[in-house]
Structures are given as C-alpha cells and as structure tokens.
C-alpha cells in the first residue's frame, strides 16, 4: 500500500515491528530475524532509532505489569506454529562486555562468555500462541503460568536490549539516551518483582537466576556501560550514583551485577571524600547556588530575589522552625556539632576564595565595629567568633605547610588579600583574633613559628583604621601588643648565597611592624630588641643609597636584583608614600611628547602623550604591601583618567595588574568611583574609550568574579543609550555594545534590562536579540527558580521586543523554551515587507549609488547625499552598493566609507541587516533564472570580503550576526562558514597570536603603539586621534567568545549541514538536536 508521507510509513512500520517483537521475543530464529530486519529498516530510512526505541520501551514496560500481575496482553496477529522451532546455536549479540572498565579482569559488566553463545530460546521451549494469549487470565492463573509469564518478560527484555545495542551503534539523541538509561535501571532494580498471589516461600526456589534472566541482565549491563562510557559522554556516571540500583534489597548472585554496584559505591565514596565539608544543612558546594527561600523574606520582590541565595547553613530552633540571619548565628552553641559544621564551611571558603560578594552576604559585622544605624544582611549567618576561629585555623594550616617546605607563597598572598578584606569590613574582631592565634601557638606546637609569616600577615592590616584605633585606644592594647610581638621569629641562619625576595621581606618585616606599633604606643619600648631597631636602620640606609645612586628617587625597576626587590617590598610596609612616589616617577620619568599634528586633529589642537616604558612585573607587584597597592591604584587612576596627558600603555597595564593581583582589597566599580571623583569625567570621549577598553580586554573576568555584571551592564547601557543615535561614534559604541553582549551572555540568571519594568529597553537591536537568547538558555538549562520570575517574565519580554524589529525563524524557535517561544511565535515576520520596500525604493537607491559610488564621483557629493537623501533610502545604502558591485567590479569605496562614518552606529547596523536580506533575496531570484548556486555564493563572498576586509567599511561581527539570524535561509549559514574560513581572517588571527600573548601579565616589554588605521581599521579609526589599548583583531575576537560562538553559530551550522543536499549528513532527522 503506498503511503503519501514518509512519516506515516515510519509510524506504521514501527507499530508492526513492535507488535512482532511482543509476539516473537521468545523464539530464537524469529527474534534474530527481527533484529536483522530492524537494522535494515533503520539503515534504509524506513525507521528512526530515536522514535523506535522509546516507543518499544514504553510498550514493553506497559506489557510487563499485566504479565506479572495476572492480566492479559493483547497482541495483534496470531503466533505461527512454526514459532515452536528453536535454533540451538544462533550467535548472541555480545560475547563479552568491551565497554566495562575492568573487562580484562572479568569483574565489572557482563562476564566473559564463549565465542558462540546460545540464544535466548535455545534450551527453553518457546511458548505456544495459546499460552501467550491466555497468559495469566484472572482466576485461572497457575503457578506454571506465572513462571512462564516471568520468562516471557525476560525474553522481551533480552530482545529489547539487543535492539538497543544495535541502535547505540548510531548517533542517538540525548533524550533517547535518557529514556534507555531510565528503563535499563528500572529493569535491573525490579528484576525479582514477584507476581501477586505468589508467596515468598515459592520464590525462594526461583530466586536463582535462570538462563534467560541471566542473559538479559548482562545485556542491560552492556547497555548501561555503553551509556556511561566517559569517552562518549552519553550519560554522566553520577546518574548511576543517583539511581536506586545501589540499594537493591535482593542482589542477584551474579558477579556482573555485584561489580557495578561496587563501582557505584566507589564513586559515591569519592564524592564524599571531596565534599566532606557538606551535609544536609549546607547549601554552598560552589558558593554560587541560585535558589533562595523567598518565604523567609516576603517583602523582597522583583530582581532582588534573583540576586539572593540560600543561606549557606540552616539551623532549626527549639520549636523546629528554621532560623535565619543573626538569630541563627547566635543560636549555634560553640563547640557543638553544628558549630563545627559552620567552621568546615568557612575553612572551605578560605581555601577556595569565593567572591567578596559571598563574604558580605554570609558574615555578620563584629559588635565592636557595628554602628547603631547599621543593620545586618538578611542572609548573614556566620558570627565574628566563627570567622575569627576559621581564619586562625587557616593561618596555622599555612604555617604547617610552610614548615614542611611546601611552596605556598601564593597561598599566603591570596589569604592575606582575603584577611585584609575581612578585617577592613569589620567581620573579624581584631583583639579576639589575636587572642585565638596566640592561644593556639602557646597551647600547641611551639616550633610552629619558624618564620615571620604571621608577622607579615598582621603587618598587612596594621594601617587599617579599626586596627589603629584598637592599638591606640583600647584598654587591652598593651596586652595585645605583647602578643603581636611574640609572633616575631628572628632567623639568624639566612644563607647569604641563597637569598630570595621572600626571605628578605620576612627577615625585615618584624622591624617594620614593630616600628609601626611603636608609633601608636611608645610604652612598648621595653619589649623591643636591638636586632629589630638595627634592621629598621638598615632599611633607611638602603633607601638613602638607592635614591642617591639613581637621583630624585627614580629606581630602575626592570633591573632590580633579588635583594633589591625584597628590600623594596620591606619599604612598602615601612614607608608606603615614598615607595609610591618612586613608582609614579618611573612612569613619568620618560616625559611626554607633544603632538602638533596628527590624524583627525584640528590645526591648533595639541595632544601630549607619555612615552612608553616597562610595566611593573607581577613578581614585583605581588610582594608589595596592600596599603601601598591602595595608594598606587589611587595615584594611577588620578593620572590615567583625570590627567591632561595621554597615559602610557605601561601605566595602564600596571594599574590593571594591581587590581587583578589583589581582587578582594582593591576592587572598585569604576563608573561609580570615577563619577564620584569627577561627575563629568565620562563625557570625555578619551576617558570613556580607555575605560571601556580596560573593561573589555582586562577587567571583565574580575567583575564577573565579584558578581557585579548586572551593575556594570546598567552603567554601560547608559552610555549606549546616549550614543547609539549619535553620528560618528562608532568605536565607542562598538566597545560598549561588545561589553554589554559579553555581560549578558555571562549572566546565568534572570535580570531586568532596565531597573524598572517601564518603558522600552535602551538596548540596541543586537543586544535585544542577545538578551532573548540569554533568557532562553537560562530557562532551558536552569529552569525558573522563583514564582516572582514568572510574574515579570511577560512584561520583560514585551519591554525587550518593543523596539526590536527582529523575528526568529521557526527552525530557531524550535529550541527555545515554550514560555519564550509562544511569545515570539505570534510576532509577524517583516522581512517580506522589507523586501517589498526595497523593491519600491530600488530604482532611487541605485541612481543615488551610481552618483555616489561611481569611480569618477565627486567627493563633494558625499555632503549632498547626507543632507538631501531620505532616511528610508539611506537604510538601503549598503544593499545598493552590493547590488552595484554585481555589475561594476570597482566602486568608489572612499565615498562609501565617508558616508558610513557619518551614519550613527545603529544606522550602520540596520544597513547591514537590510543588505543581508537583499543579498539572500537576490540569490533566490538568480537561482530561479538558472544561475548556479556555487557561482552566486562565490560572488556574494567576494563582495562581502570587499566590505569587511578589503576596505573595512563595516564590522565583521555584525555581518556574521546578521547572517546567523537568517538561519532559515539555506544559504545564509554557508556564507557564515565561508567568511570565517577566509584567508584574511586567518591571517589576522595568526598575526595577532604571534605578536601578542593572551597572558598579558607575563609580558614585561615596553608596549608598542600601532598605527591608528592598522590598529582599528577604517570604520573605527575615523574620529580617534590616538590608539588607547586594544587592536582591531582583538576587538573582533572579543566580540565572539566561545560561549557566543556556541550559542549563535553552533546550532545554526548544524541546521545548515542538515538542510544542505551537498553535505553528507549521517542522520538528517537529528538536525539541531
């Protein structure tokens, strides 16, 4: 019978095959033929594995219950009498289990069998049709019938597993893998399920595994091992850890089953070993859980709920209700099990260094430092006593590592940064911490203080205001001072031939700290020794010699030896301001050059630019005191952003390294900080450019680490809203848009595009599309965590799409979550209207382009075009230029570049999207006229390369995004791939990688300023007078991070390959899965 549609044929074939599987599973030759037929039908495309296997498993599972419970199973068609004939030596599917990790040892998975094993029904008489049809009828079920019903289930499992193993040889969808895994585990868990009416005594004799049960269980294990194979990554092994397979009450007497259960328990033990700080009351394995108990704070609504988290520890009160915040911290008894649980969490945090945002949320301010008006954070649950004890434990732990000669200087640096942050925030009671640390040293091993690391650690915080007030005015200041001095360890066994900067710093740090304490309290003179005073004089003498030799305190920081670097580290603790002045002198000593003329400058305009020098190395910066780093960062900000001269790249690079090397202590939100110092600073284009380049190319990971992505996004959005309609601000706009794109794609939570759900979004067309994609990914991967999200999702989507003209193709919407897909499906596709508008304006646009872009066109016509052309015609400028290039090999690119520069950034973006629509429409028309698709695509790529690479008239990233958005067109994604494979892009990438290392903090050579046009390209370099930080290719690469390539291009290319007739796709039905 002919079938009008392929899907109908597949459905009927699938139904018939499943029916035969139910009838013939107990007959060896027939089951063997069914397996062969299934392979052939799938290979010819009459069946699809991804549809057949889930349907088969569903039918088999539904057939199990009636068989085991005394019901009847109705199967279409009688069973032939020939089914009673069995073939004794038909080969089985697997002789062994090759996917098992220990298959060679014959321990895990199916045990080794003979090369020619007997099939399911070799030694078992197959069931007659009458027996099958009357199996387990109510009221007539005999014990033998129930036994045969259990055997029938085993035969079904056996044949189903063989079919699944055949299907796993092809590439199945992840959803199919999940269905298979679920059923395999259920079959194994319920392998001994007794039918109703059979008592336990009767099943004792049958609990031993018979041959069919033995075989189907081994095949189930084969399937599971293939699914959890770590090389293929079909199903993660932790799904087995989460399953009930490990909790079998009646474990069969079979090595293969026992070994997989042992492997699951071994993996569970590994998880417990790595997460032993966690238990049922802890919710912070990664310090980033996104869920929050909103019922605890019903007054909090909107986006603020999304920013909050579960409390890192929960604790019930006497009445059983959960406590929160400060009540929880005050209720946990010291020394109890819950106290130790809280300390484990804090110790883990001190080792893994979560962001300062986490610390602020969970720590209470010490009562002695809390003001009367200050309220605690709702989620703060760790008391100052807890954090003080945890910090003391971490200090002792690092001391033990240091004494064991383990290289842990970097761990000390990270710990000092966190310690400074916690102390400055008032979360640690300084006096209590000193008491805890002194008692541990006194009551513990006296030899633990073999170095001055504790003295160095305390010297980092000695200039914090609350610490200075404590040491100068507290009644216990003398006692506290004595304990601090007791941590000093004079090491007189230094090897003069093996001196490192760290050893110099630790040797002199006690003198530096003691002199600082002396300035607070002169009564401690009696506790000082002569060695400390003598070392203080050595520091002064060294500094005098250095300034005298170099003159005007200018030190050559690139040629410091080990001892000089260590002494400068000591100087940063003793005399921070002279050390800061020395660093600033290093950057300004080369002077500045005054540029009388330059590109894009007025005749009387002068710009002073600092000469380049070496940036300070990370090795030198790492040992400086945090107090000096704070001073230096402030001075560099003053010079870089508020100075009159253009800063050197070395100065900017050093400033960035300072922020990265002490992320807790020095972080500041730049937009807020700079506007507080100078409210009109961001109105200067040079400052905004430099700040956006720093954020794009250096500090974006730091903002993500601090959880300030949303705040930064809102700040950048303000810049975008001011300049997106402003003519000529292309470079500033692209930097801001690029930064916003990266921020949006890095947010894995709900966010408001504006802080209020009122009015249209201030985003650009590109950002609106990226926002929709980001929300779709968040919902599909993380779900909707809070009810509040459902409330403002609909107005959020309306706000985003209010100013967007874009519509997504049906092919793309297929992968969106239903909540977003249903909203976007009703939007009308306006591409047809855009093509009609182009056809109406085509004649006028082509005439204007002929006058503007002909090789003999007058340059003065540019201003005429800009002042007299209509907006509805200007939007088709790039499309007209592209059409003109089909008939003219050369056009006046100079005039086109001048016009595009005068456009606003959004006008350029709209021009590119319109050009792409016209281009794809033109290809379809030419195909109808008989032209070859290869010739059309080749010509289109050549013309696009003219725009992007030859004359750099439009940015590559917008062209790619415009083409990717048209993934329903069969040729759009081919153009994307061709553009990415162009030699021009590959050459620029190789040149960039060869000249610049991604590890910018390791490069200590003087930066070189590239020529403006070469660095930025024609389109972006028009209004800029000097190059700041980035290069054009770095700009392009940063707009396409791996995450965005996966989101935008990944699934689109899959769709392209599946829809193309010229690309051999092994399974076209799996396109886009």
Strands 315-316 and 607-610: unpaired
Instruction: Catalogue the long-range contacts made by 230-237 (C-beta closer than 8 Å, 24 or more residues apart).
Output: 234/172, 234/174, 234/177, 235/177, 235/178, 235/181, 237/267
d(CA 787, CA 275): 31
In this prediction, residues 413-417 reach a mean pLDDT of 96
Residue showing tokens 């260094």: 353
CA nearest to 16, candidates 1, 27, 669: 1
**Cβ contact 86:32 at 8 Å:** no
Domain boundary among 566, 592, 626: 566
Q: Are residues 40 and 139 in the same domain?
A: yes
Residue showing tokens 């005749």: 603
Lowest-pLDDT range of 921-935, 1007-1021, 1054-1068: 1054-1068
Residue showing tokens 């842990």: 408
67 pLDDT above the threshold of 80: no
pLDDT score of 631: 95
In this prediction, residues 222-244 reach a mean pLDDT of 84
294 pLDDT above the threshold of 50: no
User: Is residue 161 situated within a structural domain?
Assistant: yes
Q: Are residues 496 and 540 in the same domain?
A: yes
233 Cβ contact partners less than 8 Å away, ≥ 6 residues apart: none
Q: Are residues 339 and 206 in the same domain?
A: no
DSSP state of 282: B
Lowest-pLDDT range of 5-9, 367-371, 613-617: 5-9
pLDDT score of 44: 85
CA nearest to 584, candidates 632, 655, 656, 630: 632
Which residues face 593 on adjacent strands?
Answer: 609
* Residue pLDDT, tens place only, 590-641: 666 655 444 455 556 666 788 888 899 999 999 999 999 999 999 999 999 9
Tally of residues, the chain: 1073
Tokens (6 digits) for 955: 């940015």
d(CA 169, CA 35): 13
For the chain, the domain total comes to 4
In this prediction, residues 644-649 reach a mean pLDDT of 84
State the virtual CA torsion across 414, 418, 420, 424 in degrees, nearest 10. 160
Q: What is the DSSP string of 742-795?
A: HHHHH--S---SSSSS-S-----HHHHHHHHHHHHHHHHHH----HHHHHHHHH
User: Is residue 950 situated within a structural domain?
Assistant: yes
pLDDT score of 666: 93
| Helix (H) / strand (E) containing 52 | helix 49-69
Q: Are residues 199 and 135 in the same domain?
A: yes
**Cβ contact 733:724 at 8 Å:** yes
User: Is residue 648 situated within a structural domain?
Assistant: no
162 pLDDT above the threshold of 50: yes
State pTM to two decimals.
0.70
Lowest-pLDDT range of 132-136, 221-225, 375-379: 132-136
- How many Cβ atoms are within 10 Å of 722's Cβ, its own excluded? 17
User: Is residue 1021 situated within a structural domain?
Assistant: no
Tokens (6 digits) for 1042: 């791996």
CA nearest to 100, candidates 250, 232, 260: 260
**Cβ contact 524:518 at 8 Å:** yes
CA nearest to 713, candidates 682, 660, 667, 753: 753
- How many Cβ atoms are within 10 Å of 267's Cβ, its own excluded? 15
Residue 718 C-alpha from the chain's centroid? 26
**Cβ contact 985:864 at 8 Å:** no
* Residue pLDDT, tens place only, 388-405: 999 999 999 999 998 887
| Helix (H) / strand (E) containing 323 | strand 322-323
pLDDT score of 597: 47
Domain boundary among 767, 795, 829: 829
d(CA 511, CA 125): 94
User: Is residue 598 situated within a structural domain?
Assistant: no
pLDDT score of 637: 92
d(CA 173, CA 1045): 22
User: Is residue 641 situated within a structural domain?
Assistant: no
- Helix or strand or coil: residue 594? strand
Percent of the chain predicted with pLDDT > 90: 16
Q: Are residues 55 and 153 in the same domain?
A: yes
Domain boundary among 532, 566, 600: 566
CA nearest to 618, candidates 1029, 1008, 1003: 1003
Handedness of CA 627, 628, 630, 635 (dihedral sign): positive
80 pLDDT above the threshold of 50: no
CA nearest to 424, candidates 491, 469, 482: 469
State the virtual CA torsion across 397, 403, 405, 411 in degrees, nearest 10. 30
Tokens (6 digits) for 208: 């031993």
- How many Cβ atoms are within 10 Å of 374's Cβ, its own excluded? 9
Radius of gyration of the chain (CA): 37
User: Is residue 288 situated within a structural domain?
Assistant: no
In this prediction, residues 1019-1027 reach a mean pLDDT of 49
CA nearest to 495, candidates 555, 551, 562, 434: 562
Q: Print burial letters for 826-847: b (CB count within 10 Å at least 16), e (below 16).
A: eeeeebeebbeebeebeeebbe
Q: Are residues 227 and 351 in the same domain?
A: no
Residue 697 C-alpha from the chain's centroid? 17
* Residue pLDDT, tens place only, 736-764: 998 999 999 888 777 777 766 677 788 88
Q: Are residues 304 and 164 in the same domain?
A: no
Q: Could you list the residue range(s) of the whole structural domain that residue 966 is in?
A: 838-981+1041-1070
Q: How would residue 277 be classed by pLDDT, with cut points 50, 70 and 90?
A: very low
Q: Are residues 882 and 847 in the same domain?
A: yes
In this prediction, residues 515-534 reach a mean pLDDT of 67
- Helix or strand or coil: residue 782? helix
Strands 315-316 and 322-323: antiparallel
User: Is residue 167 situated within a structural domain?
Assistant: yes
* Mean pLDDT taken over the chain: 75
Q: Are residues 77 and 153 in the same domain?
A: yes
d(CA 259, CA 237): 15
pLDDT score of 82: 32
Task: Give the CB-side neighbour count of residue 584, counting CA atoms within 13 A.
Answer: 18
Q: How would residue 916 be classed by pLDDT, with cut points 50, 70 and 90?
A: very high
255 pLDDT above the threshold of 90: no
- Burial status of residue 1052 (CB atoms within 10 A of its CB: 0-12, 13-18, 19 or more): buried
Write the CA distances from 510 to 34, 126, 530, integer angstroms.
Answer: 84, 90, 12
Q: Are residues 817 and 860 in the same domain?
A: no
| Helix (H) / strand (E) containing 965 | helix 956-965
d(CA 744, CA 1048): 14
d(CA 761, CA 291): 27
Q: Are residues 373 and 321 in the same domain?
A: yes
Identity of the highest mean pLDDT range in 87-91, 100-104, 233-237, 908-912: 908-912
| Helix (H) / strand (E) containing 607 | strand 607-610
Handedness of CA 925, 930, 934, 940 (dihedral sign): negative
- Burial status of residue 549 (CB atoms within 10 A of its CB: 0-12, 13-18, 19 or more): exposed
Residue showing tokens 């520069």: 901
447 Cβ contact partners less than 8 Å away, ≥ 6 residues apart: 403
Q: What is the DSSP string of 93-113?
A: S-SS-TTSTTGGGT-SSSPP-
Q: Are residues 446 and 348 in the same domain?
A: yes
d(CA 19, CA 900): 67
Lowest-pLDDT range of 163-172, 504-513, 840-849, 1041-1050: 1041-1050
853 pLDDT above the threshold of 50: yes
d(CA 59, CA 19): 9
In this prediction, residues 820-828 reach a mean pLDDT of 86
């Amino acid at each position: 019978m002919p079938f009008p549609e392929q899907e109908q044929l597949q459905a009927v074939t699938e139904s018939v095959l499943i029916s035969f599987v139910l009838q013939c599973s107990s007959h060896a030759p027939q089951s063997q033929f069914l397996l062969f037929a299934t392979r052939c039908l799938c290979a010819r495309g009459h069946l699809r594995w991804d549809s057949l296997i889930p349907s088969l498993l569903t039918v088999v599972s539904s057939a199990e219950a009636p068989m085991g419970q005394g019901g009847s199973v109705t199967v279409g068609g009688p069973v032939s009498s020939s089914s009673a004939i069995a073939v004794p030596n038909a080969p089985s599917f697997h002789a062994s289990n090759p996917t098992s990790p220990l298959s060679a040892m014959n321990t895990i998975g199916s045990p080794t069998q003979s090369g020619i094993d007997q099939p399911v029904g070799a030694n078992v008489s197959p069931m007659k049709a009458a027996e099958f049809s009357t199996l387990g009828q109510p009221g007539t079920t005999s014990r033998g019938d129930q036994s045969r019903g259990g055997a029938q289930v085993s035969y079904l499992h056996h044949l189903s597993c063989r079919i699944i193993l055949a299907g796993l040889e092809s590439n199945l969808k992840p959803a199919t893998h999940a269905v298979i895994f679920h059923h395999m585990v259920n079959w194994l868990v319920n392998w001994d399920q007794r039918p109703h009416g059979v008592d336990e005594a009767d099943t004792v004799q049958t609990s031993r595994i018979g041959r069919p049960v033995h075989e189907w269980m081994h095949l189930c294990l084969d399937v599971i091992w293939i699914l959890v194979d770590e090389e293929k990554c079909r199903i993660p092994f932790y799904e087995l850890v989460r399953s009930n397979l490990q909790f079998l009450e009646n474990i069969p007497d079979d090595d293969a089953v026992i070994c997989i259960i042992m492997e699951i328990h071994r993996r569970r033990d590994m998880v417990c070993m790595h997460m032993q700080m966690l238990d049922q009351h802890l919710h912070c394995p990664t310090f980033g859980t996104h869920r929050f108990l909103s019922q605890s704070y019903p007054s909090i609504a909107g986006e603020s709920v999304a920013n909050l988290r579960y409390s890192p520890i929960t604790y019930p009160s006497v009445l059983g209700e959960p406590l929160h915040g400060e009540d929880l911290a005050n209720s946990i008894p010291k020394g109890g099990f819950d106290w130790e649980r809280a300390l484990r969490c804090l110790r883990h945090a001190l080792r893994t260094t979560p962001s300062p945002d986490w610390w602020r949320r969970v720590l209470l301010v010490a009562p002695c430092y809390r003001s009367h008006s200050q309220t605690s954070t709702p989620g703060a649950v760790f008391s100052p006593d807890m954090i003080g004890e945890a910090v003391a434990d971490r200090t002792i732990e690092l001391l033990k590592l240091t004494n064991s000669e383990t290289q842990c200087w970097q761990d000390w640096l990270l710990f000092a940064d966190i310690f400074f942050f916690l102390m400055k925030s008032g979360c640690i009671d300084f006096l209590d911490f000193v008491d805890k640390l002194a008692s541990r040293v006194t009551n513990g091993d006296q030899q633990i203080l073999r170095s001055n690391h504790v003295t160095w650690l305390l010297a980092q915080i000695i200039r914090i205001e609350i610490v200075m007030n404590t040491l100068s005015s507290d009644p216990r200041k003398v006692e506290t001072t004595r304990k601090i001095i007791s941590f000093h360890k004079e090491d007189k066994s230094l090897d003069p031939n093996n001196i490192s900067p760290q050893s110099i710093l630790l040797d002199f740090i006690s003198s530096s700290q003691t002199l600082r304490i002396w300035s607070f309290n002169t009564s401690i003179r009696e506790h000082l020794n002569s060695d400390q005073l003598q070392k203080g004089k050595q520091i002064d003498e060294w500094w005098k010699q250095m300034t005298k030799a170099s003159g005007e305190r200018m030190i050559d920081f690139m040629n410091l030896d080990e001892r000089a670097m260590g002494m400068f580290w000591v100087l940063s603790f003793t005399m921070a301001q002279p050390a800061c002045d020395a660093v600033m002198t290093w950057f300004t000593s080369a002077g500045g050059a005054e540029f009388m003329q330059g590109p894009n400058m007025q005749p009387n305009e002068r710009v002073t630019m600092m000469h380049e020098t070496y940036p300070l190395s990370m090795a030198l910066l790492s040992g400086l005191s945090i107090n000096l780093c704070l001073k230096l960062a402030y001075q560099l900000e003053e010079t870089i952003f508020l100075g009159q001269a253009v800063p050197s790249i070395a100065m900017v690079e050093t400033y960035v390294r300072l922020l990265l090397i002490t992320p807790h202590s020095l972080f500041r939100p730049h937009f807020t900080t700079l506007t507080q110092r100078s409210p009109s600073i961001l109105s200067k284009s040079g400052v905004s450019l430099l700040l956006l380049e720093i954020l794009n190319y250096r500090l974006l990971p730091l903002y993500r680490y601090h959880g300030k992505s949303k705040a930064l996004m809102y700040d950048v959005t303000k810049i975008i809203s001011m300049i997106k309609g402003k003519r000529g601000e292309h470079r500033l706009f692209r930097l801001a848009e690029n930064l916003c794109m990266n921020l949006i794609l890095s947010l894995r939570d709900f966010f408001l595009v504006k802080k209020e759900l009122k009015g249209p979004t201030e985003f650009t067309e590109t950002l609106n599309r990226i926002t929709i994609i980001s929300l779709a990914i968040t919902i599909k991967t993380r779900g909707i965590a809070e009810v509040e999200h459902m409330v403002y999702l609909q107005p959020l989507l309306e706000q985003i799409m209010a100013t967007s003209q874009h519509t997504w193709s049906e092919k793309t919407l297929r992968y969106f979550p239903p909540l977003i897909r249903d909203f976007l499906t009703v939007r009308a596709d306006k591409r047809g209207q855009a093509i009609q508008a182009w056809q109406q304006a085509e004649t006028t646009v082509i005439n204007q382009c002929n006058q503007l872009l002909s090789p003999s066109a007058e340059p003065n016509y540019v201003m005429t075009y800009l002042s007299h052309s209509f907006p509805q015609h200007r939007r088709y400028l790039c499309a007209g230029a592209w059409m003109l290039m089909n008939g003219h090999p050369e056009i006046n690119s100079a005039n086109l570049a001048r016009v595009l520069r005068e456009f606003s950034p959004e006008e350029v973006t709209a021009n590119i999207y319109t050009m792409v629509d016209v281009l794809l429409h033109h290809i379809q028309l030419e195909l109808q006229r008989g032209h070859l698709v290869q010739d059309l695509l080749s010509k289109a790529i050549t013309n696009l390369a003219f725009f992007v690479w030859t004359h750099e008239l439009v940015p590559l990233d917008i062209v790619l995004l415009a083409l990717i958005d048209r993934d329903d067109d069969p040729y759009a994604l081919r153009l994307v791939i061709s553009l990415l494979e162009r030699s021009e892009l590959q050459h620029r990438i190789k040149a960039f990688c060869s000249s610049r290392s991604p590890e910018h903090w390791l490069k200590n050579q003087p930066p070189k300023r590239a020529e403006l046009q070469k660095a930025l390209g024609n389109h972006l370099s028009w209004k800029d007078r000097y190059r700041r930080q980035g290069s054009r290719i770095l700009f392009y690469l940063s707009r396409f991070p791996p995450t965005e390539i996966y989101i935008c291009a990944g699934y689109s290319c899959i769709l392209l390959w599946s829809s193309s007739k010229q690309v051999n796709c092994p399974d076209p039905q799996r396109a886009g899965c």
